Amino acid sequence: MAQEGTSTSPGSPEVTAAELAECRADRDPFQWDVREDCQVRQILDRIADKWSLLVIALLDEKKLRFGELGREIDGISKRMLTVTLRNLERDGLVSRTVYPEVPPRVEYELTALGRTLLATTQALVTWTEEHQDQIAEAREAFEAANADPVAG
Amino acid sequence: MAQEGTSTSPGSPEVTAAELAECRADRDPFQWDVREDCQVRQILDRIADKWSLLVIALLDEKKLRFGELGREIDGISKRMLTVTLRNLERDGLVSRTVYPEVPPRVEYELTALGRTLLATTQALVTWTEEHQDQIAEAREAFEAANADPVAG
DNA sequence: CAGGATCCGAAAGGATACTG
DNA sequence: CAGTATCCTTTCGGATCCTG
Protein backbone atom coordinates (compact mmCIF):
# COMPACT_ATOMS: atom_id res chain seq x y z
CA MET A 1 0.00 0.00 0.00
CA ALA A 2 1.04 3.61 -0.07
CA GLN A 3 1.86 3.78 3.60
CA GLU A 4 5.48 4.69 3.17
CA GLY A 5 6.06 4.76 -0.56
CA THR A 6 5.72 8.23 -1.99
CA SER A 7 5.90 7.26 -5.62
CA THR A 8 2.31 8.19 -6.37
CA SER A 9 1.95 11.48 -8.15
CA PRO A 10 -0.57 13.71 -6.40
CA GLY A 11 -0.10 16.43 -8.97
CA SER A 12 -1.63 16.74 -12.41
CA PRO A 13 -4.08 14.06 -13.55
CA GLU A 14 -3.29 14.84 -17.16
CA VAL A 15 -2.27 12.05 -19.48
CA THR A 16 -1.09 12.59 -23.02
CA ALA A 17 -1.50 10.21 -25.93
CA ALA A 18 2.21 9.54 -25.83
CA GLU A 19 2.00 8.05 -22.35
CA LEU A 20 -0.81 5.73 -23.23
CA ALA A 21 1.23 3.24 -25.20
CA GLU A 22 3.47 2.15 -22.36
CA CYS A 23 0.56 2.45 -20.03
CA ARG A 24 -1.19 -0.21 -22.02
CA ALA A 25 1.77 -2.52 -22.00
CA ASP A 26 3.48 -4.36 -19.14
CA ARG A 27 0.28 -5.30 -17.38
CA ASP A 28 -0.87 -8.64 -16.21
CA PRO A 29 -2.76 -10.05 -19.18
CA PHE A 30 -5.95 -10.52 -17.22
CA GLN A 31 -6.05 -7.24 -15.39
CA TRP A 32 -7.57 -4.02 -16.61
CA ASP A 33 -5.32 -1.13 -16.97
CA VAL A 34 -6.81 0.92 -14.23
CA ARG A 35 -3.87 2.37 -12.41
CA GLU A 36 -4.12 5.94 -11.27
CA ASP A 37 -2.07 7.26 -14.15
CA CYS A 38 -4.09 5.54 -16.83
CA GLN A 39 -6.94 6.54 -19.07
CA VAL A 40 -9.55 4.12 -17.86
CA ARG A 41 -9.42 5.74 -14.48
CA GLN A 42 -9.53 9.21 -16.03
CA ILE A 43 -12.59 8.45 -18.11
CA LEU A 44 -14.28 6.64 -15.31
CA ASP A 45 -13.78 9.58 -13.00
CA ARG A 46 -15.27 11.77 -15.67
CA ILE A 47 -18.47 9.87 -16.31
CA ALA A 48 -18.96 9.20 -12.65
CA ASP A 49 -18.28 12.64 -11.29
CA LYS A 50 -21.79 13.16 -9.97
CA TRP A 51 -23.13 15.18 -12.90
CA SER A 52 -21.54 14.14 -16.18
CA LEU A 53 -23.68 11.12 -16.74
CA LEU A 54 -26.78 13.17 -16.11
CA VAL A 55 -25.71 15.80 -18.60
CA ILE A 56 -24.93 13.17 -21.21
CA ALA A 57 -28.26 11.51 -20.65
CA LEU A 58 -30.11 14.78 -21.08
CA LEU A 59 -28.21 15.72 -24.20
CA ASP A 60 -29.19 12.45 -25.78
CA GLU A 61 -32.69 13.80 -26.30
CA LYS A 62 -31.75 17.04 -27.94
CA LYS A 63 -29.28 19.87 -27.79
CA LEU A 64 -29.78 22.09 -24.80
CA ARG A 65 -28.76 25.52 -23.61
CA PHE A 66 -26.78 26.17 -20.46
CA GLY A 67 -29.78 27.40 -18.55
CA GLU A 68 -31.98 24.58 -19.75
CA LEU A 69 -29.51 22.04 -18.44
CA GLY A 70 -29.33 23.90 -15.17
CA ARG A 71 -33.09 23.83 -14.77
CA GLU A 72 -33.35 20.22 -15.85
CA ILE A 73 -30.72 18.93 -13.45
CA ASP A 74 -32.13 19.52 -10.03
CA GLY A 75 -29.54 20.31 -7.44
CA ILE A 76 -26.63 21.36 -9.60
CA SER A 77 -24.97 24.69 -9.10
CA LYS A 78 -24.04 27.04 -11.89
CA ARG A 79 -20.40 26.46 -11.11
CA MET A 80 -20.55 22.69 -11.28
CA LEU A 81 -22.57 22.79 -14.46
CA THR A 82 -19.84 24.89 -16.00
CA VAL A 83 -16.95 22.67 -14.95
CA THR A 84 -18.86 19.54 -15.91
CA LEU A 85 -19.58 20.86 -19.37
CA ARG A 86 -16.00 22.02 -19.79
CA ASN A 87 -14.69 18.60 -18.88
CA LEU A 88 -17.06 16.87 -21.25
CA GLU A 89 -16.14 19.29 -23.99
CA ARG A 90 -12.47 18.81 -23.27
CA ASP A 91 -12.83 15.06 -23.66
CA GLY A 92 -14.67 15.48 -26.92
CA LEU A 93 -17.92 14.06 -25.60
CA VAL A 94 -19.94 17.25 -25.86
CA SER A 95 -19.71 20.12 -28.30
CA ARG A 96 -20.32 23.73 -27.39
CA THR A 97 -21.79 26.24 -29.81
CA VAL A 98 -21.88 29.94 -29.04
CA TYR A 99 -24.29 32.10 -30.97
CA PRO A 100 -23.08 35.68 -31.25
CA GLU A 101 -26.31 37.19 -30.08
CA VAL A 102 -27.33 39.38 -27.23
CA PRO A 103 -28.30 38.09 -24.85
CA PRO A 104 -25.87 35.25 -25.59
CA ARG A 105 -27.06 31.77 -26.41
CA VAL A 106 -24.92 28.69 -25.96
CA GLU A 107 -26.00 25.24 -27.00
CA TYR A 108 -24.53 21.94 -26.00
CA GLU A 109 -24.94 18.65 -27.80
CA LEU A 110 -23.41 15.21 -27.78
CA THR A 111 -20.65 14.44 -30.23
CA ALA A 112 -20.52 11.12 -32.06
CA LEU A 113 -18.07 9.96 -29.42
CA GLY A 114 -20.43 11.04 -26.69
CA ARG A 115 -23.26 9.05 -28.21
CA THR A 116 -21.21 5.85 -28.23
CA LEU A 117 -20.46 6.41 -24.56
CA LEU A 118 -24.12 6.91 -23.82
CA ALA A 119 -24.94 3.51 -25.20
CA THR A 120 -22.44 1.94 -22.85
CA THR A 121 -23.44 3.84 -19.77
CA GLN A 122 -27.04 3.00 -20.40
CA ALA A 123 -26.16 -0.63 -19.89
CA LEU A 124 -24.81 0.28 -16.49
CA VAL A 125 -27.92 2.21 -15.60
CA THR A 126 -30.03 -0.69 -16.75
CA TRP A 127 -28.03 -3.03 -14.54
CA THR A 128 -28.59 -0.74 -11.60
CA GLU A 129 -32.30 -0.49 -12.20
CA GLU A 130 -32.57 -4.23 -12.48
CA HIS A 131 -30.61 -4.89 -9.31
CA GLN A 132 -31.48 -1.97 -7.09
CA ASP A 133 -33.90 -4.08 -5.13
CA GLN A 134 -31.25 -6.68 -4.40
CA ILE A 135 -28.87 -3.97 -3.33
CA ALA A 136 -31.45 -2.35 -1.13
CA GLU A 137 -32.09 -5.72 0.47
CA ALA A 138 -28.40 -6.27 1.01
CA ARG A 139 -28.11 -2.88 2.61
CA GLU A 140 -30.93 -3.46 4.99
CA ALA A 141 -29.54 -6.86 5.88
CA PHE A 142 -26.14 -5.35 6.45
CA GLU A 143 -27.58 -2.56 8.53
CA ALA A 144 -29.57 -5.02 10.58
CA ALA A 145 -26.56 -7.26 11.13
CA ASN A 146 -24.41 -4.34 12.16
CA ALA A 147 -26.97 -2.53 14.24
CA ASP A 148 -25.19 -1.66 17.45
CA PRO A 149 -26.31 -4.43 19.82
CA VAL A 150 -25.11 -2.51 22.87
CA ALA A 151 -26.84 0.80 22.40
CA GLY A 152 -30.10 -0.90 21.55
CA MET B 1 -30.47 24.90 -10.08
CA ALA B 2 -29.99 24.80 -6.34
CA GLN B 3 -29.22 28.46 -6.02
CA GLU B 4 -32.04 29.35 -3.67
CA GLY B 5 -34.07 26.20 -3.24
CA THR B 6 -33.01 24.33 -0.15
CA SER B 7 -35.08 21.26 -0.77
CA THR B 8 -32.10 19.05 -1.49
CA SER B 9 -31.15 16.83 1.38
CA PRO B 10 -27.46 17.18 2.17
CA GLY B 11 -27.71 14.63 4.94
CA SER B 12 -27.82 10.88 4.67
CA PRO B 13 -27.39 9.29 1.26
CA GLU B 14 -29.27 6.24 2.43
CA VAL B 15 -32.19 4.95 0.43
CA THR B 16 -34.47 2.20 1.58
CA ALA B 17 -36.35 -0.23 -0.60
CA ALA B 18 -39.56 1.53 0.36
CA GLU B 19 -38.45 4.77 -1.21
CA LEU B 20 -37.48 3.16 -4.46
CA ALA B 21 -40.98 2.58 -5.74
CA GLU B 22 -42.02 6.20 -5.91
CA CYS B 23 -38.53 7.06 -7.00
CA ARG B 24 -39.03 4.95 -10.05
CA ALA B 25 -42.35 6.48 -10.87
CA ASP B 26 -43.29 9.98 -11.97
CA ARG B 27 -40.31 10.42 -14.24
CA ASP B 28 -40.24 11.51 -17.79
CA PRO B 29 -40.55 8.27 -19.72
CA PHE B 30 -37.30 8.81 -21.60
CA GLN B 31 -35.12 9.94 -18.73
CA TRP B 32 -33.10 7.79 -16.41
CA ASP B 33 -33.91 7.97 -12.81
CA VAL B 34 -30.72 9.60 -11.72
CA ARG B 35 -31.76 12.20 -9.18
CA GLU B 36 -29.63 12.60 -6.13
CA ASP B 37 -31.94 10.60 -3.95
CA CYS B 38 -32.09 7.63 -6.26
CA GLN B 39 -30.32 4.34 -6.55
CA VAL B 40 -28.66 4.77 -9.88
CA ARG B 41 -26.67 7.64 -8.48
CA GLN B 42 -25.85 5.66 -5.36
CA ILE B 43 -24.52 2.70 -7.26
CA LEU B 44 -22.68 4.86 -9.70
CA ASP B 45 -20.96 6.67 -6.91
CA ARG B 46 -20.01 3.34 -5.46
CA ILE B 47 -18.45 1.76 -8.51
CA ALA B 48 -16.75 4.98 -9.42
CA ASP B 49 -15.29 5.85 -6.05
CA LYS B 50 -11.71 5.47 -7.15
CA TRP B 51 -11.10 2.00 -5.77
CA SER B 52 -14.25 -0.11 -5.90
CA LEU B 53 -13.97 -1.04 -9.53
CA LEU B 54 -10.39 -2.08 -9.00
CA VAL B 55 -11.29 -4.27 -6.08
CA ILE B 56 -14.11 -5.89 -8.01
CA ALA B 57 -11.82 -6.51 -10.96
CA LEU B 58 -9.24 -8.19 -8.75
CA LEU B 59 -11.77 -10.32 -6.97
CA ASP B 60 -12.99 -11.63 -10.29
CA GLU B 61 -9.87 -13.75 -10.56
CA LYS B 62 -10.05 -15.32 -7.15
CA LYS B 63 -10.87 -14.62 -3.55
CA LEU B 64 -8.25 -12.49 -1.85
CA ARG B 65 -7.19 -11.53 1.62
CA PHE B 66 -7.16 -8.00 2.95
CA GLY B 67 -3.41 -7.72 2.71
CA GLU B 68 -3.29 -9.27 -0.71
CA LEU B 69 -5.70 -6.69 -2.02
CA GLY B 70 -3.65 -3.97 -0.41
CA ARG B 71 -0.49 -5.15 -2.05
CA GLU B 72 -2.18 -5.68 -5.39
CA ILE B 73 -3.73 -2.24 -5.54
CA ASP B 74 -0.84 0.14 -5.73
CA GLY B 75 -1.49 3.43 -4.04
CA ILE B 76 -4.39 2.51 -1.77
CA SER B 77 -4.18 3.14 1.93
CA LYS B 78 -5.26 0.66 4.56
CA ARG B 79 -8.07 2.96 5.52
CA MET B 80 -9.50 3.33 2.05
CA LEU B 81 -9.27 -0.37 1.42
CA THR B 82 -11.29 -0.94 4.53
CA VAL B 83 -14.02 1.54 3.70
CA THR B 84 -14.15 0.40 0.11
CA LEU B 85 -14.58 -3.22 1.13
CA ARG B 86 -17.19 -2.27 3.71
CA ASN B 87 -19.20 -0.39 1.14
CA LEU B 88 -19.03 -3.23 -1.33
CA GLU B 89 -20.01 -5.67 1.35
CA ARG B 90 -22.82 -3.43 2.44
CA ASP B 91 -24.21 -3.36 -1.09
CA GLY B 92 -23.98 -7.12 -1.35
CA LEU B 93 -21.36 -7.07 -4.07
CA VAL B 94 -18.59 -8.63 -2.01
CA SER B 95 -18.70 -11.15 0.79
CA ARG B 96 -16.40 -11.13 3.77
CA THR B 97 -15.29 -14.29 5.49
CA VAL B 98 -13.42 -14.22 8.79
CA TYR B 99 -11.47 -17.30 9.81
CA PRO B 100 -11.17 -17.60 13.58
CA GLU B 101 -7.46 -18.10 13.55
CA VAL B 102 -4.53 -16.27 14.98
CA PRO B 103 -3.23 -14.28 13.29
CA PRO B 104 -6.62 -13.55 11.79
CA ARG B 105 -7.36 -14.26 8.17
CA VAL B 106 -10.10 -12.51 6.24
CA GLU B 107 -11.04 -13.37 2.71
CA TYR B 108 -13.08 -11.37 0.28
CA GLU B 109 -14.84 -12.63 -2.80
CA LEU B 110 -17.42 -11.47 -5.26
CA THR B 111 -21.03 -12.40 -4.70
CA ALA B 112 -23.23 -13.49 -7.56
CA LEU B 113 -24.52 -9.94 -7.68
CA GLY B 114 -21.00 -8.61 -7.81
CA ARG B 115 -20.17 -10.81 -10.75
CA THR B 116 -23.11 -9.53 -12.78
CA LEU B 117 -21.90 -6.00 -12.10
CA LEU B 118 -18.43 -6.91 -13.23
CA ALA B 119 -19.72 -7.98 -16.60
CA THR B 120 -21.37 -4.62 -17.05
CA THR B 121 -18.46 -2.52 -15.91
CA GLN B 122 -16.17 -4.45 -18.17
CA ALA B 123 -18.14 -3.13 -21.11
CA LEU B 124 -17.43 0.35 -19.87
CA VAL B 125 -13.75 -0.35 -19.51
CA THR B 126 -13.71 -1.82 -22.99
CA TRP B 127 -15.33 1.30 -24.36
CA THR B 128 -12.70 3.42 -22.68
CA GLU B 129 -9.87 1.34 -24.02
CA GLU B 130 -11.29 1.53 -27.49
CA HIS B 131 -11.79 5.27 -27.39
CA GLN B 132 -8.96 6.52 -25.25
CA ASP B 133 -7.02 7.62 -28.29
CA GLN B 134 -9.91 9.71 -29.53
CA ILE B 135 -10.27 11.24 -26.11
CA ALA B 136 -6.58 11.96 -25.88
CA GLU B 137 -6.77 13.65 -29.25
CA ALA B 138 -9.75 15.69 -28.17
CA ARG B 139 -7.92 16.76 -25.06
CA GLU B 140 -4.87 17.88 -26.92
CA ALA B 141 -7.01 19.74 -29.42
CA PHE B 142 -8.91 21.39 -26.60
CA GLU B 143 -5.72 22.29 -24.81
CA ALA B 144 -4.26 23.72 -27.99
CA ALA B 145 -7.38 25.73 -28.71
CA ASN B 146 -7.49 27.10 -25.19
CA ALA B 147 -3.79 27.73 -24.78
CA ASP B 148 -3.56 31.19 -23.33
CA PRO B 149 -2.80 33.33 -26.40
CA VAL B 150 -1.74 36.30 -24.26
CA ALA B 151 0.81 34.67 -21.98
CA GLY B 152 2.39 32.88 -24.91
C1' DC C 1 -2.84 -9.81 10.18
C1' DA C 2 -6.93 -7.08 9.90
C1' DG C 3 -8.78 -3.56 11.10
C1' DG C 4 -10.80 0.77 14.28
C1' DA C 5 -10.12 5.65 15.91
C1' DT C 6 -8.34 10.03 15.40
C1' DC C 7 -6.10 14.01 13.36
C1' DC C 8 -5.34 16.98 9.75
C1' DG C 9 -4.17 18.63 5.09
C1' DA C 10 -6.11 18.55 0.35
C1' DA C 11 -9.66 18.81 -2.71
C1' DA C 12 -14.49 19.15 -4.07
C1' DG C 13 -18.23 21.89 -4.31
C1' DG C 14 -21.97 25.52 -2.95
C1' DA C 15 -23.08 30.63 -2.35
C1' DT C 16 -22.39 34.98 -3.75
C1' DA C 17 -20.97 38.86 -6.47
C1' DC C 18 -19.43 40.51 -10.73
C1' DT C 19 -18.86 40.69 -16.12
C1' DG C 20 -19.51 40.66 -21.38
C1' DC D 1 -27.97 34.63 -20.61
C1' DA D 2 -23.81 32.43 -19.75
C1' DG D 3 -20.47 32.39 -17.57
C1' DT D 4 -15.97 33.91 -14.20
C1' DA D 5 -13.77 34.83 -9.72
C1' DT D 6 -13.76 34.46 -4.91
C1' DC D 7 -14.82 32.83 -0.49
C1' DC D 8 -15.86 29.38 2.58
C1' DT D 9 -17.83 25.02 4.15
C1' DT D 10 -17.96 20.12 3.62
C1' DT D 11 -15.99 15.94 2.33
C1' DC D 12 -12.24 12.84 1.08
C1' DG D 13 -8.53 10.53 2.13
C1' DG D 14 -3.66 9.73 3.89
C1' DA D 15 -0.78 9.28 8.18
C1' DT D 16 -0.42 7.67 12.59
C1' DC D 17 -1.46 5.14 16.68
C1' DC D 18 -3.95 1.48 18.94
C1' DT D 19 -6.46 -3.21 19.51
C1' DG D 20 -7.87 -8.28 19.22
Taking only the tens place, the pLDDT of each residue in A9-55 is 333 444 444 444 444 444 444 456 655 556 777 778 788 788 898 89
Considering only CB atoms, A127 lies closest to which of B30, B42, B116, namely: B116
> Which residues in chain B touch residue A17, judged by CB atoms under 8 angstroms apart?
133, 136-137, 140
Mean pLDDT of chain B: 79
Can you give the three-state secondary structure of chain A, one letter per residue?
CCCCCCCCCCCCCCCCHHHHHHHHCCCCCCCCCCCCCCHHHHHHHHHCCCCHHHHHHHHHHCCEEHHHHHHHCCCCCHHHHHHHHHHHHHCCCEEEEEECCCCCEEEEEECHHHHHHHHHHHHHHHHHHHHHHHHHHHHHHHHHHCCCCCCC
The integer distance in angstroms from the CA atom of B46 to the C1' atom of D19 is 29
Q: Is any atom of strand D within 7 angstroms of residue A79's beta carbon?
A: yes
Mean pLDDT of chain A: 79
Q: In this model, does residue B20 exceed pLDDT 80?
A: no
Q: In this model, does residue A5 exceed pLDDT 90?
A: no
Strand D contact nucleotides, protein CB < 7 Å: 1-6, 10-17, 20
State the smallest CA–CA distance between residue B96 and chain A in angstroms.
12
Q: Is any atom of strand C within 7 angstroms of residue B82's beta carbon?
A: yes
Domain regions of chain A by residue span = 48-145
Residue B35: its pLDDT value, please? 59
The integer distance in angstroms from the CA atom of A21 to the C1' atom of C5 is 43
CA distance B136 to B82: 33
Q: In this model, does residue A86 exceed pLDDT 80?
A: yes
State the smallest CA–CA distance between residue B112 and chain A in angstroms.
11
CA distance B14 to B7: 16
Residue B91: its pLDDT value, please? 94
More confidently predicted of B150 and A42: A42
- Interior angle at CA B100, CA B97 and CA B103, nearest 5: 105
- The pLDDT > 70 percentage for chain B reads 72
- This prediction has a pTM of 0.80
Residue B39: its pLDDT value, please? 72
| Residues A37/A9, Cβ–Cβ less than 8 Å | yes
The integer distance in angstroms from the CA atom of A96 to the C1' atom of D5 is 22
Q: In this model, does residue B114 exceed pLDDT 80?
A: yes
The integer distance in angstroms from the CA atom of B62 to the C1' atom of C11 is 34
Of A14-18, A85-89, A142-146, give the range with the top mean pLDDT. A85-89
Nucleotide at minimal C1' distance from the A69 CA: D2
- Overall average pLDDT of the B26-31 stretch: 46
Least confident of A20-29, A72-81, B87-96, B118-127: A20-29
CATH class of residue range A48-145: mainly alpha
Considering only CB atoms, A142 lies closest to which of B15, B90, B134, namely: B90
Least confident of A128-132, B28-32, B97-101: B28-32
Q: Is B45 helix (H, G, I), strand (E, B) or coil?
A: helix
CA distance A64 to A107: 5
Considering only CB atoms, B39 lies closest to which of A30, A70, A132, namely: A132
**Backbone region of residue B60 per phi and psi (left: phi > 0; alpha: psi in -120 to 50; beta: other values):** alpha
Nucleotide at minimal C1' distance from the A96 CA: D2
Residue B38: its pLDDT value, please? 67
> Which residues in chain A touch residue B114, judged by CB atoms under 8 angstroms apart?
none
Residue A32: its pLDDT value, please? 60
As a residue count, chain B comes to 152
